[in-house]
Every structure is written in C-alpha cells, then in structure tokens.
Amino acid sequence: MKEVIERLVKIENGFKPIEYEAKKIVVSKSISDSMKLAVELLENDFYQVRSLAVFLLGYISSKDPVALQILRTKVSNDKSWQVQEILAKSFDQYCMDTGYEKSLPVIKDWLSDKIPNVCRAVTEGLRIWTGRPFFKTNPQVAIQLISQHKAHESEYLRRSVGNSLRDISKKHKVLVDNEILTWDLSNKLILFTYKFVTKSK
C-alpha cells in the first residue's frame, strides 16, 4: 500500500489512476477490509489518498450503509474540491449499483441535507441526469429534483444546478423552458442559476 500511496501523491491532474487503484483494491479485498482501509486513508494529508478512500467507499456503499453514511457526513466536509468531485462520482456509483429508481429516496434525502456539498454530490454526480436509467424516461422528475436548489445560498451548488439543467435542455428544451418560466428572476440567487441554464441559448 505504501508504494501505491507514493505513486498516487505524485498525480497532479486527473483521477483515473486513483479510480483504477480503488477498483483493484475492492476486487482483491473483502467489503470489511475495504472499509477499514478507506477509513484509514481518509485521515491522510494528501487529497489524492483521500480521493482513493472516497472511491473505495463509493464502490462498497450499495452493500454497506455505513460507507454511504461516511460519504455523507465526513467526506462532504473535506476542504479539497478534488475530493468533492470524487464524492459526486461515488454517489453516482451508489445509485448505479443500487438502481436509479430504487435510489430515489436516498437521492431526495441527500438533496434535503443542510450541507451544500451533500446536495451537490447529487446534482453533479448524476450528470447528465437524463442519460441515466429511469431519468432518461422521466426527465421531468430530474428537472424537479434539481430545480429545488435554484435559490440555494451556495454559489457552488447553484452553478451545478444551472449546468445540470442546461445539460437536460439539450434534449428536453421545452420541459426545462417550462420550468424556468416559473422562476422569480427578481431573486438574484435564482437569476444566477437561470443564466447558467440559458448560457448556450
């Protein structure tokens, strides 16, 4: 493991090598051992190593609810934006392994969280939402779920909301247009999100 860590901390851009190492680990170790390793790696000073831990938690989260809880309560508080990107990917991994429709209660629960990074893990992780099973045939559900944070105080989250809706509008323009027509653009927070939704229009 020491050699792996030494190699990973040298990575300056991208996450593919980190993801590759995580896949190797979960294939070779039990869920319990993968969990123990992830918890240990989360305490590392290097974001690359913590990212490895987050990937591990994502891969086992559909089988171990404690892993999903750690992603929500601990990883969401990590100060590294790179780790937050992996959190989003790991949440999508959970939904994919569980099934997107079956994951709806968890998706809604995470979107109701007070921590912006937890909400963003959903809005960003499931992009492009309508490319995912269930949401592909239920775009309106995706639009409604994402839009609830159009006026969130976190610019980081609102940017993700706007970009996610813009993604969907490429194939479902009328549905997205109907949604944003109901928005109160006198609200500066909503206007910010609106500009991202309509950026390419």
Mean pLDDT over 57-76 rounds to 98
Give the pLDDT confidence of 29-56 residue by residue, as tens digits: 999 999 999 999 999 999 999 999 999 9
Residue 170 DSSP label: T
Give the mean pLDDT of 142-161: 97
Domain containing residue 86: CATH number? 1.10.1240.70
Examine the pLDDT at 58 and tell me if it is beyond 70.
yes
Question: What's the CA gap between 122 and 76, in Å, rounded?
Answer: 12
Q: Is the pLDDT of residue 201 over 60?
A: no
Do 50 and 39 form a contact (C-beta atoms < 8 A)? no
pLDDT score for 12: 86
The band of 9, judged by pLDDT with boundaries at 50, 70 and 90, is confident
Q: Domain holding 167: CATH number?
A: 1.25.40.290
Both 174 and 140 in one domain: the answer is: yes
6: buried, middle or exposed (CB in 10 Å: 19+, 13-18, 0-12)?
A: exposed
Residues 81 and 2 in one domain: yes
Q: Whole domain around residue 148: which residue ranges? A: 105-201
